[in-house]
Chain A
Amino acid sequence: MPINGDNQDRAAQQGDSGRASFPNDTALSEAIQNALVDAMERHGYSKASRFAVRLALAEAIANAFHHGHEHLPPSLPITVEYAVDPAKVVIHVEDQGPGFDPATIPDPTLDENIEKTTGRGLMLIRAYMTRVSYNAKGNRVEMVYDKP
């Protein structure tokens, strides 16, 4: 698993960080989720916090492959970076797709959308993370979770 310490400077000495580029592969996706959650546990984040961040990361990875790389080869990697310190978790997920405008995603909780089988990932990310923002192209999401 190519999680390396490239970004350890960003997390300073008190933090944990990791970076991985990987294709659409369950084991590789779970490896970075586990590494992030383990880092959170070392920094005293609660079970509820770890649940929230794992879910948000899993949704962001799924969005990157399912939507960002929808028309691209499954072997094409996405890149996940994270940095954990005692106060916050910062995650970036970047795909190589054309990007999207998050403002165009319909509200999945409206009655007319409630039975749709897709479209809840971004909503869950926003519900569980403190701050969520995209780059201008819309292919890189930044998710910040402040420790409660």
Chain B
Amino acid sequence: MAASNSRLKVRRQNNVNIVEFIDRNILDEANIATIGEEIAALVDAEPAPRLLISFANVDHLSSAALGTLITVNNRVRGKQGQLRLANIDPQIYEVFVITRLNKLFSIHENTDEALKSFT
């Protein structure tokens, strides 16, 4: 995770790993693959992972990134963990609505609200 080419910033609060993205545009498949591997490593490191992904700095998100989020969601559920998404720009939230993925993910207004939702 400490590799210099990391695409993520990770901090820990209330036993939750809070992930933020370094890139403003998450459109490129190579970057998305790296992001997926980094988050998978976080999920695999714990028996019941609690993961909050913040999109605070993100301007663009592609369908490939959505696919990676679904993979992460499945991986977390497979370990009886919990995944929350937060700080999603309205334009990006519309992408979730168009694809109906707002029904699949637990999406919260901001980091505090998302942290409160963990059980």
- Which A residues are closer than 8 A to B by beta carbons? 26, 29-30, 33, 47-48, 51, 54-55, 58-59, 62, 65-66, 108-109, 114-121, 123-124, 127
Contact for A118 among B27, B67, B95, CB less than 8 A: B67
How far is the CB of A55 from the nearest CB of chain B, in Å? Answer: 6
Main secondary structure of the interface of B (DSSP, over half): helix
Q: How many residues of B contact A (CB 8 A)?
A: 25
Main secondary structure of the interface of A (DSSP, over half): helix
Task: Return the CB mask of B53-83 against A: 1 if under 8 Å, else 0.
Answer: 0000001101110111011001000000000
- Which B residues are closer than 8 A to A by beta carbons? 25, 27-31, 59-60, 62-64, 66-68, 70-71, 74, 91, 95, 98-101, 103-104
Which residues of chain B are near A109, meaning CB under 8 Å? 99-100
Contact for A116 among B27, B60, B64, B70, CB less than 8 A: B70
Is B99 within 8 A of A120, CB to CB? yes
Is A58 within 8 A of B27, CB to CB? yes
How far is the CB of A123 from the nearest CB of chain B, in Å? Answer: 7
Is A121 within 8 A of B63, CB to CB? yes
Is B67 within 8 A of A123, CB to CB? no
A33-B27, A59-B63, A114-B100 given; name 7 further pairs at CB < 8 Å: A48-B91, A62-B29, A62-B63, A108-B99, A109-B100, A120-B99, A127-B98
